[in-house]
Structure 1
Amino acid sequence: MKWLLTLGIVVLALMWWFGKGRGGGAARDGRPAGKPRPKQAQPMVACAHCGLHLPAADAIEGEGGRSFCSAEHRRLGPTS
């Protein structure tokens, strides 16, 4: 009976050991394993013509430091 108990403990230890290597647990920062790290937040701006919100990195800057979502909206200018 003690051999059966020892074998069971060894099997459970091996399952735990190999399951940990496949990403079965959680990542060090508490995220579930296999989940991608979320990207950093980017500042958002509104298009001066249509009001669409978009990342500042994707915006086209116009006169007066205004941001636009496209070259066409920059050409048309801001709406009142």
Structure 2
Amino acid sequence: MGLFRLLFWIILIAAAFWLWRRVMRKGSNKQAAQTTLPMVRCAQCGVHVPRAQALQNQDRWYCSRAHLEQDSQPGGH
């Protein structure tokens, strides 16, 4: 009888641990999905940067002011 009681508690603890890990994993996926930012490609060097940090000139995006100025100069490409 003692062996069955021990097996019961082991199975119960393993199931609780499995459920806890499953719930914690779902919570971390939601946080990761909320932190994704739209990215744009620099017209000068091709590096992808978050749109909030990029500079825009007409329909082109740039990773820095230097690349924006280089691309706007004649022969800058």
TM range (shorter): 0.5 to 0.7
Identity %: 25
- The amino acid that maps onto 2:22 is A
Cα distance, 1:53–1:33 mapped onto 2, change above 3 Å: closer
Matched length: 71
Over the aligned positions, Cα root-mean-square deviation in angstroms equals: 3.2
Aligned to 2:53: 58
Give TM-score scaled by structure 1 length.
0.54
Mapped to 2, the partners of 1:34 and 1:43 lie a distance apart of 23
Equivalence map 1:26-41=2 (5 Å): 26-27=22-23, 33=25, 36-37=28-29, 38-39=32-33, 41=36
> Are 1:16 and 2:10 matched, yes or no?
no
Gaps of 5+ in 2: none
Aligned to 1:70: 64
Stretches of 4+ moved more than 4 A in 1? none
- Name the one with the larger helix percent: 2
User: In the TM superposition, what whole-angstrom CA distance separates every residue of 1:27-69 from its partner, at most 9, and x where no partner exists?
Assistant: 3xxxx7388323355433221222222232221112x231110
C-alpha deviation, 1:18, in angstroms: 4.7
